[in-house]
Structure 1
């Protein structure tokens, strides 16, 4: 039941961000959708196993961490940094499993998934804030400008 609840919450966040979000919100929606898709694909071929290092989820978590770190580096928003940290935390679960093979499977599972729960709420809030800024007429760039010669209008959404 909790998985269905989480997936429903995440689906709503992805839909809202894709529909009403700015560039960073839409990229995060795509990252989240890709991670869920990869997870479903993994489980179609490999049953969940938390007794040893879960290399399939490690690969998905590495993708999520790398993608959100890149998003945090380029987005002109604060929230991607928080989401990047939430995607880095499950990597600690995999490191812990590698170091301590006696780690209880329930602890390993919890360490992998617990930090996923705030992500939909952050994405919904970020999208709402983006819409609120637009409604107030605040024009804020979606992306960081990397060179001084770049035009500020190039970075706007």
Structure 2
């Protein structure tokens, strides 16, 4: 259980960093990841039956997060959200794997659903660092693809 609290500490730090230093895509994703982590913790089944079947509440949270991530990927003037969205799609696919084959081992399902969270958080931090670097070097950075740079 310690690894869960370590992840939450990392997620909170990354989200706060994105909210503090990131552009709009980083801030939106940082907030969405934080809300998804809290929602998952609140909605997950208790430990005795966790991952014994498809975690429907967690699946709904993952699908909502996927929708937000897809919107960011399609509209952000960044490339890193595409990688984060692809990784989250892999995690969301674990629910489908469990639904198709109930014989999937509980631990395998749990790892497949959660393991992608760590690299997504790393991508958020890298994206935020790169945004801050572009702001320092150029003085501005487009957030969304159709944004006019003169409207900064």
TM-score (norm 2): 0.91
Q: What's 2:98 paired with?
A: 97
Confirm or deny that 1:68 pairs with 2:65.
no
Matching residue of 1:117: 118
* Match in the other structure for 2:46: 47
Aligned to 1:85: 86
Q: Does 1:19 align with 2:25?
A: no
Q: What TM-score, normalized to structure 1?
A: 0.88
Match of 1:141 in 2: 142
Q: Give me the whole-angstrom Cα distance separating, in 1, the residues matched to 2:98 and 2:148.
A: 48
Q: Distance in 1 between matches of 2:135 and 2:5?
A: 33
- Aligned equivalents of 1:5, 1:83: Cα separation in 2: 20
Output the CA distance in 2 between the equivalents of 1:40 and 1:94. 17
What is the alpha-carbon distance in structure 2 between the residues aligned to residue 91 and residue 12 of structure 1? Answer: 24
Name 1:3's counterpart in structure 2.
Answer: 4
Give the superposed CA RMSD.
1.5
Distance 1:105 1:12 in 2: 29
Tell me the CA shift for residue 142 of structure 1: 0.5
- Unaligned 5+ runs, structure 1: none
Q: What is the CA–CA distance in structure 1 between the aligned matches of 2:117 and 2:71, rounded to whole Å? A: 18
